[in-house]
A and B are shown apart, each in its own frame.
Chain A
């Protein structure tokens, strides 16, 4: 090992904190994501010897558990872990909502109707861009098991996409209907300034 612990950690932080933050922000609101980011790297700092050569899956594994612990500590439900486009639209946080096409809306409903485990498998690949081996590392399963879970999750998602509008869980609730209403640009105006 060359460099002090501080230098190693700083390099790790600079290389990885952005990606870990992106992971957390796609699953939790900003407050929670920031807390979880802090604790994830606090763990990495205390356990620097354990950080493997490919640190990203390891960090995501820690981040995932930290997030879960924080949610539990706050007494929040864990079921709906991810944070999708449109969820905060009524807060005027995102301008992208107006761009939600019917196709994407269908995908959103299909994803919501999947089990949390199926979603996690899909999102690690689709959102974080992990290889199957890396994603298996995050979830702590074998590569073979992950490949199987991914295959099944994709099959279930495709099936849901076919039936999403009829699935009661896929029906938009009033909040979501509001969320996808076009013309939210005005609410966003303030932030854009």
Chain B
């Protein structure tokens, strides 16, 4: 089509369609793939004939040859029209697998199954401290922040750098609920030296101005009081939903998050039932019992909108089953900023919890020009910091100890802050698989420079002749080869990923001409 009108029409396509990888990132699509694969091919038990979404079939347009099952398709097409009254027809279609359940929030089986397994294991755990003993919980929490300045006279902020505030918390909780205390150490980390250099002068200004620095005010995970919570899952869910959990202040406080003295969790950020249960499970929590842990996992399992993320690695290197919750908000945004937990279903422990920032909540924008709230006329440049990424908390160690100073070794490995992405893969080679029609095989050599940390996967994509870009695999394999089951039309590009991100693209490799076995219609 070389028509000018069509070019104009083409230019009006919504930009979302050109940015599929941003709108629906690979992880989101992988979660979708996983959740579809958990549905049995012949599993029609979840369908609801009364509300069933009749998918009217395609007319046979593929070369005019009716495919097997064409008669059924015609049948279903009419049934679609009659579905309101012809329940028996709809039921027959269910049997044929032609009616798809509606239920956008039907919980994927895998996620609930993981949480139920964890509930069973947690209920049998024998880790409660005896008299004179303490439950020791050590966690590491990372806040990822965007650092900005307000240039003098400007109406909008300018991003300066990205930083992490990494916080280590240790809590000792006695069986009687007394004598607990929390020790906290926090440190600024920067993804790169450039980030650090860019922010340092502003941080100095921030501190000299007398305004609170994030590192000074946000310390100490509060201890949640779970004493006496019901162990019946539905009652427990109700208590969490009513936001009646009590927090026994962090070490230092005065800000809206740390709290000073007992306060209700409702005074903190809003949370869903899934998130409230995760807060209690990740700890430090006073009054936790195996029965309560079991009930909390059961509550999480019963929440709609959970998605299995498969086996994933927590920050400290422990492997567990990932579950995302999409509670609250609208479906797509929900999943993209979902609360996520990593569970070890065999021990009934939560390894890591990730809490989304409510997108509507504007974090306090700290100013360097005097006490907050004071009108500042002499301000030249106002730096401030704001959370941009979900906050995760990783349980580094937990168990029973005999004194309020004893610690336990970390279960996993604390990984260094990854600062660099890997270099491009090299020697990308494409071979047409003999006798396999349109399949091609791609292989490459790992990058010599893996950046900081190992390569965690490769992205293979194809620059299409029409200007598009198709991702064939999105970083889920560390194998250095991939087979594409399609007729390649463009050039293939491979990128390596590590924990920091995706590295630069390899030199493109062109696919050999396709074997002409399948003439176009």
Q: Is the CB of B3 within 8 A of A154?
A: yes
Interface bits A22-39 vs B (CB < 8 Å: 1, else 0)? 110110001101110111
Interface residue? B516 (CB, 8 A): no
A13-B33 Cα distance, complex, nearest whole Å = 7
Interface residue? B14 (CB, 8 A): yes
Interface residue? A173 (CB, 8 A): no
Other-chain contact of A189, B35, B156, B468 (Cβ < 8 Å)? B156
Interface residue? B11 (CB, 8 A): yes
Binds A, one of B19-27, B112-120, B214-222: B19-27
Q: Is the CB of A83 within 8 A of B486?
A: no
Residues on B with C-beta less than 8 A from A41 are 32-33, 36
The answer to whether residues A42 and B100 also contact, given A26-B17, A31-B331 and a CB cut-off of 8 A, is yes
Binds A, one of B62-70, B262-270, B309-317, B343-351: B62-70
A140-B155 Cα distance, complex, nearest whole Å = 54
Interface residue? A47 (CB, 8 A): yes
B94 to chain A, nearest CB (A): 11
Q: Is the CB of B14 within 8 A of A52?
A: no
Other-chain contact of B100, A19, A39, A157 (Cβ < 8 Å)? A39
Q: Is the CB of B36 within 8 A of A42?
A: yes
Interface residue? B193 (CB, 8 A): no
The answer to whether residues A57 and B61 also contact, given A18-B21, A157-B9 and a CB cut-off of 8 A, is yes
The answer to whether residues A186 and B8 also contact, given A15-B485, A26-B16, A87-B14 and a CB cut-off of 8 A, is no
The answer to whether residues A83 and B14 also contact, given A58-B58, A65-B56 and a CB cut-off of 8 A, is yes
Other-chain contact of B12, A11, A84, A154 (Cβ < 8 Å)? A84
A186-B158 Cα distance, complex, nearest whole Å = 12
Interface residue? B41 (CB, 8 A): yes
Other-chain contact of A25, B10, B23, B36, B518 (Cβ < 8 Å)? B23
Which bracket fits the contact residues of A?
35 or more
Q: Which residue of B lies closest to A99 (CB)?
A: B11
Within 8 A of A (CB), among B251-286: none
Residues on A with C-beta less than 8 A from B472 are 14-15
Other-chain contact of B53, A39, A85, A140, A143 (Cβ < 8 Å)? A39
Residues on B with C-beta less than 8 A from A22 are 17-18, 20, 468
Interface bits B132-169 vs A (CB < 8 Å: 1, else 0)? 00000000000000100000000110010000000000
The answer to whether residues A34 and B331 also contact, given A10-B37, A46-B41, A104-B12 and a CB cut-off of 8 A, is yes
Q: Which residue of B lies closest to A53 (CB)?
A: B518
Q: Is the CB of A15 within 8 A of B470?
A: yes
Interface residue? A161 (CB, 8 A): yes
Q: Is the CB of A85 within 8 A of B13?
A: yes
B64 to chain A, nearest CB (A): 8
Within 8 A of B (CB), among A63-117: 65-66, 69-70, 73, 83-85, 87-88, 93-94, 96, 103-104, 107-108, 111
A43-B57 Cα distance, complex, nearest whole Å = 10
Other-chain contact of B332, A34, A62, A193 (Cβ < 8 Å)? A34
Interface residue? B409 (CB, 8 A): no
Q: Is the CB of B15 within 8 A of A94?
A: yes
Q: Is the CB of B6 within 8 A of A38?
A: no
Interface residue? A147 (CB, 8 A): no
Residues on A with C-beta less than 8 A from B15 are 85, 94, 96
The answer to whether residues A45 and B41 also contact, given A54-B62, A127-B10, A137-B62 and a CB cut-off of 8 A, is yes
Within 8 A of A (CB), among B453-471: 466, 468, 470-471
A96 to chain B, nearest CB (A): 5
Within 8 A of A (CB), among B91-112: 97-98, 100, 102, 104
Residues on B with C-beta less than 8 A from A70 are 53
Residues on B with C-beta less than 8 A from A13 are 29, 33, 36
Q: Which residue of B lies closest to A135 (CB)?
A: B61
A62-B20 Cα distance, complex, nearest whole Å = 19
Q: Which residue of B lies closest to A157 (CB)?
A: B5
The answer to whether residues A154 and B13 also contact, given A10-B33, A69-B55 and a CB cut-off of 8 A, is no
Interface residue? B452 (CB, 8 A): no
A92 to chain B, nearest CB (A): 13
A125-B98 Cα distance, complex, nearest whole Å = 29
Interface residue? B360 (CB, 8 A): no
Q: Is the CB of A122 within 8 A of B14?
A: no
Residues on B with C-beta less than 8 A from A25 are 14, 16-17, 20, 23-24
Q: Is the CB of B5 within 8 A of A154?
A: yes
Other-chain contact of B9, A54, A62, A122 (Cβ < 8 Å)? A122
The 3 closest A-B pairs by CB, nearest first: A140-B59, A137-B61, A107-B8
- B interface with A by C-beta (< 8 Å): 1, 3, 5-6, 8-18, 20-21, 23-24, 28-29, 32-33, 35-37, 39, 41, 53-59, 61-62, 67-69, 97-98, 100, 102, 104, 146, 155-156, 159, 330-333, 335, 388, 466, 468, 470-473, 484-486, 518, 520-521
10 A-B residue pairings within 8 Å (CB atoms): A19-B470, A22-B18, A26-B13, A53-B62, A54-B62, A73-B53, A84-B14, A111-B9, A137-B521, A138-B58
- A interface with B by C-beta (< 8 Å): 5-6, 9-11, 13-15, 17-19, 21-23, 25-26, 30-31, 33-35, 37-39, 41-43, 45-50, 52-54, 57-58, 61-62, 65-66, 69-70, 73, 83-85, 87-88, 93-94, 96, 103-104, 107-108, 111, 122-123, 125-127, 129, 131, 133-134, 136-138, 140-143, 154, 157-158, 161, 186, 189, 193
